[in-house]
Amino acid sequence: MKAVTIPEFGAADVLRLDEVTTPEPGPGQVSIDVAYAGANFAEVLYRQGVVDVPLPFVPGIEVSGRVRAVGPDVEGLSVGQPVAALTIVDSGGYADVVVTAAELVAPIEAGLGLNVAAAVPSNSTTAFLVLDRVARIEPGESVLVHAAAGGVGSQLGQAARLLGAGRIAGTVGSPAKVQAAKEFGFDEVILRDEFAAQGEFDVVVDMVGGPARRTSLDALAPMGRMVVMGNASGADDVGLPANELWFTNKTVSGFNLAAFSGAFPADAGRALRRAVGAAAAGDLKVQVEELALTRAADAHRRIESGSTTGKLVLKV
């Protein structure tokens, strides 16, 4: 089969379309004929060598398509069924065929296109898990989301609304992204270097890092929770003082979807099915732009530049 591989770590130009062995599902797994693969910052990190993966490596943490084959001990999924899937544990989505745990697969309901469905498993699932499972959001609480116009940021604002949040604010890195973020339902959109003047928040979600991380801690209300889930700025790590946390009744948590899905696949699967259902019902707006799989390097360049809004999906 054809697959985009990372033969060596480096810039986007290292990505290569190769012929590789078609995977087969084992016990508790299914294989999927991939229609679309989501393009994500996580795959950029794999390519850069920030995440240590064995080479050559096929990236791709989420897909949509149809079930190709079902392994032993799998129930509720059938060959030919349209599905969305998290392939984040072992990756492999930039390919004609991918294998993943059946628990990380969600049937697609009528009305949800395969192109949009490919953009749901990573970002939308993360949004529900971060707010519900990690931040334990309560009705009426205020939420601040960094990178509000991006793939996961756009989903976090909408998920917060569905979970009963009160004030929902987002930050963006440039004025050009303000309007795009507003279209995802934020009550207000703030330039990232100005959010410190916007008062306190019960929940802050930070995938940017750098100076925003320290300022985010300062912006937490008493009993506030900050969830750290990325470092898109590429800045050096920011130390957070433990003594300050107990002095001020604040909490800092981390979330990594790959580690969570590997450790708690049933929980990740439930969140995935919740997200797919919300997208199919129109409760989640998912903005996608299609590129051919052969343009995976272009997708990576755009993600690295910070110029994207919504989500890029690769048509396989």
| pLDDT (tens digit per residue) in 12-58 | 999 999 999 999 999 999 999 999 999 999 999 999 999 889 999 99
| Mean per-residue pLDDT of the chain | 94
Select the more confidently predicted residue: 86 or 183.
Answer: 86
Contact assessment for residue 277 and residue 21, using Cβ atoms and an 8 Å cutoff: no
Q: Residue 33, class by beta-carbon neighbours within 10 Å (0-12 exposed, 13-18 middle, 19+ buried)?
A: middle
pLDDT, residue 176, reads 87
Tell me the torsion sign for CA atoms 292, 293, 294, 298: positive
Return the pLDDT at 36: 98
Give, as one character, the DSSP assignment of residue 231: -
| Average pLDDT, integer, range 218-222 | 95
SS3 (DSSP) at 151: helix
Q: Give me the pLDDT at residue 233, please.
A: 76
Assess whether pLDDT exceeds 90 at residue 110.
no
Is pLDDT above 90 for 150? Answer: no
Which tens digit of pLDDT belongs to each residue from 74-89?
999 999 999 999 999 9
pLDDT of residue 180: 86
Residue 50 Cα distances to 53, 312, 314, angstroms? 9, 21, 22
- The encoded tokens of residue 90 equal 């072992």
Residue 235: pLDDT over 80: no
Residues whose CB falls within 8 Å of the CB of residue 52, separated by 6 or more in sequence, listed in order: none
State yes or no: pLDDT of 309 exceeds 80.
Answer: no
Percent of the chain whose predicted confidence (pLDDT) is above 70:
100
Give the H/E segment covering residue 3: strand 2-5
| Alpha helix segments (H runs only) across the chain | 41-48, 114-117, 123-128, 151-162, 178-182, 211-218, 242-248, 257-263, 265-280, 296-305
Q: Which residue type is seen at 250?
A: K
For residue 65, which amino acid is it? G
pLDDT band for 109, please (50, 70, 90 cuts). Answer: confident
Identify the band that residue 210 occupies on the pLDDT scale cut at 50, 70 and 90: confident
